[in-house]
Amino acid sequence: MPMDVLLLSEVSAAKVIGGAERMLREQAVGLAKRGHAVGIVCRAPQGDASAHVRIEGVPESRYAVSRGHEGAFFLSSVRQSLRAFEVGRSGRTLDAVLVYQSLAGFGPIRRCATTAGAWIYMCLSLAHEEYLSRVRPGRTPAARIRRALNARVRLWVERSVMRRCHRVTVMSDFMKERVHRIHGIPEAKLSLLPGAADTTRFRPPDDQRRLKVALGLPTDRMVFFTVRNLVPRMGLENLVDAVALLKDLSGDLLVLIGGQGPLRESLQARIESLNLGCQIRLLGFVGEADLPKYYQAADCVVMPTVELEGFGLVTVEALACGTPVLGTPVGATPEILSRIDPLLVTPGCDAAALAGSIRLVLDRFRDRPGERARLAAAGLDLVAKEYNWTRQSERLEALIRDSCAAPGGYLADGLR
């Protein structure tokens, strides 16, 4: 039986620039393809005045917020998200509401909780941790106090929303433990729903060599690729320093870094100061059309994260392209890669650990001609069994139905 589901988010599904947008888009479209009535209510992206758009048939309604200062942003977000929610549901009772970021659901769940059969929090990351990793401590006491208060408000809002929901989904065992410990969510309310890859878009290349030529990449060097938001937690500085430790492999290795963010200038300066311009390329933003091509052209994808890798969609998308992934022992990365081969998990996050693992992978690929193909096949098999959107949409649908059918009120474990 079709369900009526509304998704609340602080990001838009119209343009995928990171994991949050990817999850929102794929889950919304996936539910719609399974015959359910799906709508998105989200904060309007900066620079986009469109109040209504459609994403593969799914309507997205947007609300504007004030960005003058933190207080105005918070209050306008609560007020406008509540108003947009009421407009989005058009007076009807919904089967379920999925909340992707806490501020988008704070007003609606506190004021309109009885308008839906089930409220489900889709925990992609912890809001206060993301904020603290993105905003570094200020130089003045006032700046440090402001940062601490901002983080505290984000933690309180997220906890308040989570505890009012029937269910909280997490993408990994790593996140399950953190949500339980930090927000006190009972394990009985936590459900594991991992990320996935679109295997129609992310698939092995027909001809990798030809693709490298088309992208202007060398065919006589091993190409390592990563695509990340250029922020401190991604460990990109360590990756640059790791390449500097592999100077003897300068003729064998090229590292591509895709993405945009505040570290762009400092990363470029670091690359130039270490004279690595021939070994590392900053690609800038890699669009949806080109992303699969870079995964396919790469001989290996590297995830140098130093903190807060709640899942890592890049990992499974690369695996779906038949490209092995080398990742640090952070967050959920080992949960995925250790199922393929422990070789793919570095012993640490520092430059020396990354350099050692990159060297080991290069040696393996050179000395054992079938090694890359073996790792690629194991990754493809894992994606086919666990990490594809068809499987994920089935799991999400079942989770929503189960939550709707579960006894108990929405405030059974919540904060009144």
Tracing tokens 């500085």 back to the chain, one arrives at 237
Distance CA 161, CA 168 (A): 10
Domain tally for the chain? 2
End-to-end Cα spacing for the chain: 33
Mean pLDDT by 10 residues, the chain (416 residues): 96 89 95 97 91 95 91 93 93 95 96 95 92 84 90 95 96 95 95 94 96 96 94 94 92 94 94 95 93 97 92 94 97 95 96 97 93 97 94 95 73 37
The pLDDT of residue 411 is: 38
Say which CATH number the domain at 296 has: 3.40.50.2000
270 and 180 within one domain: no
Which residues make Cβ contacts (< 8 Å) with residue 144, sequence separation at least 6? 137, 138
Distance CA 207, CA 209 (A): 6
**Residue 412 forms part of a structural domain:** no
Structure tokens at 277: 């311009």
**Residue 119 forms part of a structural domain:** yes
Structure tokens at 333: 């990365």
User: 373: domain range?
Assistant: 208-385
In order of 64, 86, 113, 114, 415, the CA distances from 411 in angstroms are 29, 20, 9, 10, 7
180 and 56 within one domain: yes
**Residue 413 forms part of a structural domain:** no
77 and 188 within one domain: yes
Amino acid identity of residue 124, one-letter, is L
* Residue (of 396, 391, 378) closest to 198 by Cα position: 391
37 and 146 within one domain: yes
133 and 150 within one domain: yes
Q: How many CB atoms lie within 10 A of CB 376?
A: 17
401 and 290 within one domain: no
Structure tokens at 112: 């309109």
**Residue 380 forms part of a structural domain:** yes
314 and 392 within one domain: no
**E strand segments, 34-181:** 37-43, 52-55, 58-63, 94-99, 116-122, 167-170
* Residue (of 155, 121, 82, 45) closest to 410 by Cα position: 121
Please state the separation of Cα 96 from the chain's center in Å: 23
The pLDDT of residue 412 is: 39
For 239-265, how does the pLDDT look when each residue is reduced to its tens digit (9 = 90+)? 999 999 998 888 899 999 999 999 999
Angle, alpha carbons 147-153-154 (nearest 5°): 90
